[in-house]
Amino acid sequence: MSTELAWEVVAETGAQLGERPVWEPATSSVIWVDISTGNLHRFTPASPGRPGGDRVLGTPGVPVGAAAPRAGGGYVLAAADGFRLTGADGGPAGPPLRPPGMPDNVRFNDGACDPAGRFWAGTEAWDMKSPIASLYRLDPDGAITEHLTGIAESNGLGWSPDATVFYYTDSGEDVSRIRAFGYDLAAGTLGDERELIRFGPGEGFADGLVVDADGCLWIAMWEAGCVRRYSPAGDLLGRYPVPVSRPTCPGFGGPGLDELYLTTAWEDMTDEQREAEPLAGHLLRARPGVRGLALACYGG
């Protein structure tokens, strides 16, 4: 079921731990982060009269797990010490918003906006195994609500096109899987939970994910060198090899949302592994023949 895609390198950044590419229509760019350095990147594709390229917008001095555009300009960050808001230049727009009771030995990891403009992000234990982390919701007014506890490494998350299902993975579990929850968009709450996908030995570990316009899930498989596509029922539709062993998160972009961007990593690789994978850490792009969903901006 493997299908080849023509992956191209669009930004030779060599990120240690790239994560969460998000298309920003206002700038016709992709924003993404290098978790380890805390760098917020913006990649602008070349176009007539515009050379394009990748630039670092800001570095708050702590790891950053994910970012999303704000409706009024600027960005919301899932930073190690809490949620942070920035201006359009990536500079701080206030102090960190730290959830009450957030332990000192966790940091924020992946995050994304629901269709109502709330930013969801979860934490991970520094050892990525202790079940002491949580999943939070940041409302546009700055209120923070805890929704899941007992998490080890909060990771990929996304919503069905009609926003009635929330998809989620805890990469710190002993068995890699994707869970699906009922979702109440008006209230911003999770409902009944079920296991949607369970991965077997040798299949890698589910990392970041994104949902396409057909409601199918695209999942980056850490240590498996591929991206997988699943139906909303959890059926495997395609396996797409990538030229690195540690892809981290896919995201749709381009004016037609028909380009698939992919962040990658070289974290924890030996010198020999890095030499064998020269593209690890770069931002990649392919055209899979399907379109993504237009993502909401954070409303705050």
pLDDT attached to residue 155: 98
- Smallest CA-to-CA distance from 247 within 290, 212, 218, 276 is with 218
- Asked if pLDDT for residue 110 goes beyond 80, the answer is yes
What CATH number corresponds to the domain at position 275?
2.120.10.30
pLDDT attached to residue 49: 77
Summarize the confidence of residues 162-187 as an average pLDDT: 98
The token duo for 116 is 């109502």
Q: Would you place residue 114 in the very low, low, confident or very high pLDDT band (cuts 50, 70, 90)?
A: very high
298 found inside a domain: no
236 found inside a domain: yes
1 found inside a domain: no
299 found inside a domain: no
* Alpha carbon 198 to its chain's center: 20
For residue range 271-293, list pLDDT tens digits in order. Answer: 999 999 999 999 999 999 999 99
For residue range 76-109, list pLDDT tens digits in order. Answer: 999 999 999 999 999 999 999 999 999 999 999 9
- Asked if pLDDT for residue 1 goes beyond 80, the answer is no
- In order of 82, 99, 133, 204, 293, the CA distances from 103 in angstroms are 11, 9, 8, 29, 34
293 found inside a domain: no
Give the domain range for residue 90.
8-286
117 found inside a domain: yes
pTM score, whole prediction? 0.97
- Asked if pLDDT for residue 240 goes beyond 80, the answer is yes
Q: Would you place residue 59 in the very low, low, confident or very high pLDDT band (cuts 50, 70, 90)?
A: confident
* % the chain with pLDDT above 70: 100
The tally of domains found in the chain comes to 1
- Asked if pLDDT for residue 21 goes beyond 90, the answer is yes
pLDDT attached to residue 58: 83
189 found inside a domain: yes
294 found inside a domain: no
Active site residues: 207
Q: Using CA atoms, how far apart are residues 287 and 7, in angstroms rounded to an integer?
A: 8
pLDDT attached to residue 2: 81
